[in-house]
Amino acid sequence: MKKLAVVTNKPVRVSGYMLEELGLSSYFAVLIGGDSLQNKKPHPEPVLSALKTLGIQDAKRAVVVGDGPNDVLSGRAAGTRTCGLKSNIGDHRKLTKSRPDIMIKNMKELMRIFN
């Protein structure tokens, strides 16, 4: 089973509530919000903290999946692989310019890659 974390710049309380309401909180062992640590994405601190909490010592064995350049930049700075997800929220051009290791169009593609 894969270890999953949410690393967001949104406040942890709001993010936790959103995960609960969507019925997704049980899938994630770690939730780091924008108010959890001193630094937010694109700084690597939130991703590094999630990796440490999950017990992942080799960052190259982890992938940061996100819909914005801050996700890609944070993951890269932390030493992980990165996956850009084209969503209805983020700016696709900025995401592409951040040069994720892989780009996907939807969650079905993500599931195919990691299964």
Query: Per-residue pLDDT tens for 16-54?
Result: 999 999 999 999 999 999 999 999 999 999 999 999 999
CATH number for the domain harbouring residue 106: 3.40.50.1000
Cβ atoms within 10 Å, residue 12: 16
Residue range of the domain that includes 48: 5-114
Q: What is the pTM of this model?
A: 0.93
Q: So what's the pLDDT on residue 107?
A: 85
Can you say whether the dihedral through the CA atoms of 80, 86, 89, 91 is positive or negative?
positive
**Residues present in the chain in total:** 115
As for how many domains the chain has, the answer is 1
Q: Please list, in sequence order, all residues whose beta carbon lies within 8 angstroms of the beta carbon of residue 83, skipping any fewer than 6 positions away.
A: 63, 64, 65, 66, 100, 101, 102, 103, 104, 110, 113
Which has more pLDDT, 14 or 92? 14
